[in-house]
Amino acid sequence: MPTISANMAYEHKAIETKWRKEWVKRSTYRVANDPSKPKYYVLDMFPYPSGAGLHVGHPLGYIASDIVARYKRHQGFNVLHPMGYDSFGLPAEQYAIQTGQHPAKTTEQNAARYREQLDRIGFSFDWSREVRTSDPAFYEWTQWIFLQLFDSWYDPRADKARPIADLIARLESQGCQGQDASILTGDIEEFVGEFTAEEWKAFDERTRQMVLQHFRLAYLSEAWVNWCPALGTVLANDEVKDGVSERGGHPVERKRMPQWSLRITAYAQRLLDGLDQLDWSESIKEAQRNWIGRSEGALVRFPVGEDFIEVFTTRPDTLFGVTFLTLAPEHVLVGKFTTEEQRAAVEAYVNKAKNRSERERQADVEHVSGVFTGSCAKHPFTGADIPIWVGDYVLAGYGTGAVMAVPGGDQRDWRFAKHFGMPIIAVTEGADIEKEADESKEATISSEGFLKGLKVPAAIQRAIAELEKLGAGEGRVNYRLRDAAFGRQRYWGEPIPIYYKDDIPYPVAEQDLPLVLPEIDKYQPTETGEPPLARAKDWSYEGYPLETTTMPGWAGSSWYFLRYMDPKNKERFASQEAIDYWGQVDLYVGGSEHATGHLLYFRFWTKFLHDRGWIPFDEPAKKLVNQGMIQGVSQYTAFASFGGSPESEFTDRFVLKTGEFFEVPRRWDGFRQYFFSLELLDSLDSWNSVAVGPEQLVPVAMDVRFVDNSCLDVSKVQLKDTRPEVRDGVFFATSGYWVDGQYHEFQKEARHFETRPVVEKMSKSKFNVVNPDDIIERYGADTLRLYEMFLGPIEQSKPWDTNGIEGTYRFLRKFWNLFHTGSPSETPVPSTHGVDPLPLTNDAPTKEELRVLHATLKKVTEDIERMSFNTSVSQFMIATNELGALKCNKRAVLEPLVIVLAPFAPHIAEELWQKLNPEKYASDTYKGVLAEPWPAFDPQYLVEDSFNYPISFNGKTRLQLEFPIALSKEEVEAAVLANPEVQSRLEGKAPKKVIVVPRRIVNIVV
């Protein structure tokens, strides 16, 4: 006869293991494309499966999105909540270079480890939809999209991408007019000449293909790239930090080489405009705006003999203040305009500037350098001679790589002019050009010429109009955004499906995709400096050589959200029906570090696929939430190493300022490492009569696994620490010291060794990594989930403090106990469906119990909607405390709470739900608590009869008075004034004013 489990304890391990299995068995999280139900798409940025595994910071966003996904399922949505791996990447390749292991193998192992860790946390991911970017079945479609980009051009008239065939048809009928070229090519060294339709038809195949390169959205061109000699590869701008590679920290130099690029610049304006419609954080949107860097101005051509120099300026109004031009050292025209007399000097300067790292050039803002080319250009308006200089303050990659220098209106030009003694013309009224340039945009133009007397904005308009009239320039919008370098001299990436015939790139036929990554013997560049793929045998297509660079890390992640919709499709990247059904991502959760990388390319590819008619929307994610970082709390102790020969001393003697001393026997070799407890730091006086102060002490991080509440467990350290010098150290505290695993006590106190907590990044090197597996082992996944949410707002960074987790664990136990501490009924109820019943009653709830229930339903529902999970957790705690105090064991109250807790703590909720409704689980197709509708809150239970008014005098609360809420303002006022305590505070005087805000406050102004 089963007994009622009145005092059954909450056993997280048994419960969680049971449901992990059961959910798999029941396919609880399998999602079908079911158009009969409304959809909701919750996406997490998928991880790169690194060898280190997950720490507690990684799942933060996944937990938040999982709560939303589960909540939406309770609300009747068909929820797509998938997970996969961004599995191409550098660490696996570097590991492969070191060990010779195939990156696919280590990637596989790491992914399996991630999967194990993720499974333990109880996510509702539909793993049947898992994608991996390194899986040929996935990258087949990454390659396919690349081919579509190759096969497209950006039509500025339609303001969208179109098939290259449309362009060819245009060229055949109309040729190429000047405007096309200038709009479609951003880089200074690319210039598409004008040609007629007849000329186009006369071009040979090679010439035609060369011309088309200038239009394709994926194109091969000579481009300035960040070349990293140490890695033997080219890096994207955002992979270079401070002149060194982001990974590895190797120096990077600028170099010109043939390079596959994607013409993201064609989308600059649309990427900018699209931001306004997105429910993304302002900081991310601002970061993208700055990255795109739109500026309005003019393109001005300064004639040089038969040739000309083109500059971009945002201040064409200052044209009459131009006294020289400055070219970037890398500018292609530098050589052409250098006179023989100046050649040696210019070449020396250019070489020096080129060899200077980006970092040096950035750091050296104070020092002005440059050289005169010996040539002059003509001012387009005045015809005056304008000397042409070269200066490294001008960047090759921005604008045209050349500036018109207006020392009166630009501080950098001013410093350059001052340094080289060039004339400075005042361009604005009231400018003191002896002291500095006037960059004000509210000024009035004062330089001689037709702009004199105009305000800056009017002068800009006029200058542009005059330039256009003369054919010397035109209005122009410039973007900081550069085309994205798309080739990598690496192995572990998607092969670019291109082959070369006569050095001209041609696409691999779609039916021959995927172009599978070949096996190679070594994962390094070849001896001749070619990419690793050049090592592959028969790396050719129909007898022609294949491209040997591979795609960058961001290729797969730019479109992966579409593949989840239909991950097994062999005919298409996803079926039209699946795309139409799932549509945009409704909620995207991930780190803000992807602000200008992934999140920009993600939008770019979506817009492109939209333009070509493959998908019906042109933004990938409607709402984006950036989870904050979870920082680690490192635990530092002070360390000192003292040494001498073993003969000189046999004991070490430490004296404290108080006069107390400790003596420790020396180790056989005479050296010892000493660690001091925090409270000793200021009281240390000397070691063997040598003064010891804080300056000799070095902070050393202790492994946080050995620290509890800033109290170090020294015996564990001496047994288990991975660092021998730490293990063998002597640890001093006020109470005693530890040496060679022995504790020696000075005082009859509890042994206590104190560490100093410091909040910083969670990383292995700081010994502050907390592994979710350890937490789950001790407290369970539900506690982990709740605690991660309870720490604070999802978007905020906050330190992980394992000490606090007890609170949420206690809460779950209390919640569990609510269901198990009811008075046992006189006749034991037999278990049904193998589940013991709970000691609950079917009695009608009291008003107070209903109030607690519905206040919780309301709060939790609203909190999930605005993703304020920390406050919903506290509401659960409040409800549990209150119901516990009420000794509530009524099914009608407790049952709905199980459902609303389920998104947060799915295992315990499922277990309780099964105990409440064992019969439902008899069916194998029952999806458990997740299938239950979200309980609606009923406002009637929250209506109070009376309100306890705070009565304030001049805004300061003095007392509280309770009145029925039915009372009118006037009645409340009268009642308040009639109150004896209020009267005594008024001291007989009449109040100046009484403010009554119903159900809020009463304020008496005296």
Amino acid, res. 404: M
Q: Which stretch binds RNA (CB under 7 A): 37-45, 684-692, 720-728, 856-864?
A: 856-864
CB 185 → RNA: shortest distance, Å?
17
Nearest CB to RNA, comparing residues 763 and 871:
871
CB 434 → RNA: shortest distance, Å?
20
Strand boundaries in 150-264, DSSP class E: 152-155, 160-163, 218-228, 233-235, 240-241, 244-245, 253-262
CB 119 → RNA: shortest distance, Å?
27
CB 985 → RNA: shortest distance, Å?
9
Whether omega for the bond prior to residue 507 falls within 30 degrees of 0, making it cis, is no
Per CB under 7 A, the list member of 199, 868, 886, 921 interacting with RNA is 868
CB 369 → RNA: shortest distance, Å?
7
Asked whether position 395 contacts RNA by CB under 7 A, the answer is: yes
- For residues 457-487, b (16+ Cβ closer than 10 Å) or e, as one string? eebbebbbebbeeeebbebbebbebbbbbbb
CB 392 → RNA: shortest distance, Å?
5
Asked whether position 897 contacts RNA by CB under 7 A, the answer is: no
Per CB under 7 A, the list member of 5, 109, 357, 871 interacting with RNA is 871
- Tell me the CA distances in angstroms from 135 to 492, 541, 568, one per residue in order: 11, 21, 12
Q: Which of residues 75-114 bind RNA (CB under 7 A)?
A: none
Nearest CB to RNA, comparing residues 667 and 813:
813
**How many C-beta atoms surround the C-beta of residue 669 within 10 A?**
9
Binding-residue pattern over the window 131 to 170 for RNA, x denoting contact by CB under 7 A: ----------------------------------------
Residue 607 near residue 271, CB atoms below 8 Å = yes
* Binding footprint of RNA, residue count (CB under 7 A): 91
Q: Which stretch binds RNA (CB under 7 A): 155-163, 616-624, 656-664, 786-794?
A: 786-794
Phi, psi of 772 (to 5 degrees): -60, -30
CB 854 → RNA: shortest distance, Å?
13
Q: Which residues pair with 176 in a beta bridge?
A: 195
Instruction: For the chain, give percent helix, strand, coil, nearest 5.
Output: 40, 25, 40
CB 479 → RNA: shortest distance, Å?
8
Nearest CB to RNA, comparing residues 803 and 968:
803
Q: Which stretch binds RNA (CB under 7 A): 392-400, 580-588, 648-656, 670-678?
A: 392-400
- Chain centre distance of CA 502: 43
CB 467 → RNA: shortest distance, Å?
14
Residue 488 CA to residue 236 CA, distance in Å, equals: 9
Q: Which stretch binds RNA (CB under 7 A): 89-97, 765-773, 867-875, 976-984?
A: 867-875
Asked whether position 342 contacts RNA by CB under 7 A, the answer is: no
Asked whether position 592 contacts RNA by CB under 7 A, the answer is: yes
Per CB under 7 A, the list member of 127, 308, 398, 506 interacting with RNA is 398
Asked whether position 954 contacts RNA by CB under 7 A, the answer is: yes
Per CB under 7 A, the list member of 244, 595, 786, 789 interacting with RNA is 595
CB 950 → RNA: shortest distance, Å?
3
Residue 752 CA to residue 322 CA, distance in Å, equals: 73
Q: Which of residues 610-649 bind RNA (CB under 7 A)?
A: none
CB 85 → RNA: shortest distance, Å?
24
CB 330 → RNA: shortest distance, Å?
10
Q: Which stretch binds RNA (CB under 7 A): 213-221, 224-232, 510-518, 944-952?
A: 944-952
Asked whether position 295 contacts RNA by CB under 7 A, the answer is: yes
Ramachandran quadrant class, 833 (left: phi over 0; alpha: psi -120 to 50; beta: rest): left
Nearest CB to RNA, comparing residues 57 and 525:
57
Asked whether position 728 contacts RNA by CB under 7 A, the answer is: no
Q: Which stretches of 559-697 are DSSP H helices?
A: 560-563, 576-582, 598-611
Q: Which residues contact 229 (CB under 8 A, 6 or more apart)?
A: 250, 251, 253
Q: Which of residues 698-727 bind RNA (CB under 7 A)?
A: 708-709
Residue 429 near residue 455, CB atoms below 8 Å = no
CB 362 → RNA: shortest distance, Å?
4
Per CB under 7 A, the list member of 10, 320, 337, 393 interacting with RNA is 393
**How many C-beta atoms surround the C-beta of residue 797 within 10 A?**
15
Residue 267 CA to residue 159 CA, distance in Å, equals: 9
Asked whether position 758 contacts RNA by CB under 7 A, the answer is: no
Q: Which of residues 468-507 bind RNA (CB under 7 A)?
A: 480
Nearest CB to RNA, comparing residues 488 and 859:
859
Per CB under 7 A, the list member of 418, 813, 851, 891 interacting with RNA is 813
Q: Which of residues 792-811 bind RNA (CB under 7 A)?
A: 792-793, 796-799, 801, 803-804, 806-808, 810-811
Residue 477 near residue 268, CB atoms below 8 Å = no
Strand boundaries in 627-769, DSSP class E: 630-643, 651-656, 661-665, 671-676, 684-687, 690-691, 698-702, 707-708, 711-712, 730-732, 736-739, 742-745, 753-754, 756-760
Q: Which stretch binds RNA (CB under 7 A): 95-103, 523-531, 762-770, 861-869?
A: 861-869
Per CB under 7 A, the list member of 17, 99, 362, 832 interacting with RNA is 362
Q: Which of residues 406-465 bind RNA (CB under 7 A)?
A: 410, 412
Per CB under 7 A, the list member of 81, 263, 315, 535 interacting with RNA is 315
CB 404 → RNA: shortest distance, Å?
7
DSSP single-letter state for residue 900: H
Residue 403 CA to residue 73 CA, distance in Å, equals: 58
Asked whether position 997 contacts RNA by CB under 7 A, the answer is: yes
DSSP single-letter state for residue 931: G
Q: Which residues pair with 712 in a beta bridge?
A: 707, 753
Q: Which of residues 259-288 bind RNA (CB under 7 A)?
A: 282-283, 286-287
Amino acid, res. 116: E
Residue 186 near residue 484, CB atoms below 8 Å = no
- Tell me the CA distances in angstroms from 585 to 579, 581, 628, 986, one per residue in order: 11, 11, 20, 61
CB 190 → RNA: shortest distance, Å?
16
Q: Which stretch binds RNA (CB under 7 A): 107-115, 210-218, 506-514, 997-1005?
A: 997-1005
Residue 317 CA to residue 458 CA, distance in Å, equals: 8
Residue 788 has which token pair? 């991660």
Q: Dihedral of the CA atoms 102, 104, 108, 110 (nearest 10)? A: 70
Residue 157 near residue 166, CB atoms below 8 Å = no
Q: Which stretch binds RNA (CB under 7 A): 89-97, 580-588, 669-677, 878-886?
A: 878-886
Q: Which of residues 184-243 bind RNA (CB under 7 A)?
A: 237-238, 241
Consecutive H or E run containing 857: helix 847-865
Residue 589 near residue 231, CB atoms below 8 Å = no
Asked whether position 8 contacts RNA by CB under 7 A, the answer is: no
CB 875 → RNA: shortest distance, Å?
8
Residue 437 CA to residue 424 CA, distance in Å, equals: 9
CB 799 → RNA: shortest distance, Å?
6
Asked whether position 782 contacts RNA by CB under 7 A, the answer is: no
